[in-house]
Amino acid sequence: MTPPAAPPLEQHNIEIQRNREAWRQKPMLREIYHGFYRRIATRIDPQVPGLVVELGSGMGCIKEVIPRCITTDLFPNPWLDRRENCYQLSFADREVSHLILFDVWHHLRYPGTALQEFHRVLTPGGRLILFEPAASWVGRFVYHFFHHEPVAVRDPITWEAPPGFSAADADYYAAQGSATRLFWWGEGHTRLKGWHLREVHPLSSFDYFASGGFSGPQLGGRFLHTLMCAVDFATAPFPRIFAARLMVVLEKEKS
């Protein structure tokens, strides 16, 4: 049986346009994402020289919290600073201090190939900061039944691109469990030569679930948001069961 064809890469841009409307209509979602961005901001080391760059910025909203961040995407939308492809970045060797990927890692069909490119542009001691879905028990249930992208916790991960691959060949791909498997569950730890895995931090985020994200309905207002924050606090000690989000920080080795 022939597997279904992957959606065209333009699907990413279609989702960006749809997400902009959800961002405008959902103040609860904006507040939650600003909290995520603030977490990311605390992982930026100002002592490391170089550019702070977000790849796959989509709507470019990270600038609302990290104004110096250079926003990029595959598509040249007017609110972004430049166009970039994760597999072939235009930055010079060691030009970047921090690379931020927010919900981008799980769209990399060949994560090892992209990681080589990230290593090239980062300065020694520079950081790769990933913010991803967490495939906890609850996370897998919610992402499987209420999100259109596959979680794919059992599918094979193709680490490197095949010979002859070009960055222009990148297509639409999604496996929401990729970062969980590689960094939290440890499937990729032996592949991280040249990197120090500085942090793997699963986060409860029932307020994110209640917001409906970008594609689902918001379930409540300010009272529910406050209640869900309390639930997050109570469930934080049990990430394997309840985590919804995963922050990963990789640091390029200095020698």
H/E run at residue 252? strand 243-252
**Per-residue pLDDT tens digits for 191-248:** 999 999 999 999 999 888 888 778 777 766 666 778 888 999 999 999 999 999 999 9
Instruction: Work out the angle between the directed axes of helices 10-25 and 27-41 (0-180°, nearest 10).
Output: 110
Q: How far apart are CA 36 and CA 42, in angstroms?
A: 10
Q: Quickly state the pLDDT bin for 146 (edges 50, 70, 90).
A: confident
At a CB cut-off of 8 Å and minimum separation 6, what does 245 contact?
36, 131, 132, 133, 134, 202, 203, 205, 208
Output the CA–CA distances (angstroms, integers) from residue 214 to 148, 175, 203, in the order listed: 11, 17, 19
Going by their DSSP bridges, the two strands 51-55 and 70-73 should be labelled as parallel
Residue that has been written with the tokens 């002859």 in this structure: 164
Q: Which position has the token pair 């110096």?
A: 68
Domains parsed from the chain with CATH numbers: 10-252 (3.40.50.150)
**Contact partners, residue 170, CB within 8 Å, separation at least 6:** 9, 74, 85, 86, 87, 109
| pTM check: above 0.95 | no
Residue for token pair 């605390």: 42
Tens digit of pLDDT for each residue in 28-49?
Answer: 888 899 999 999 999 999 999 9
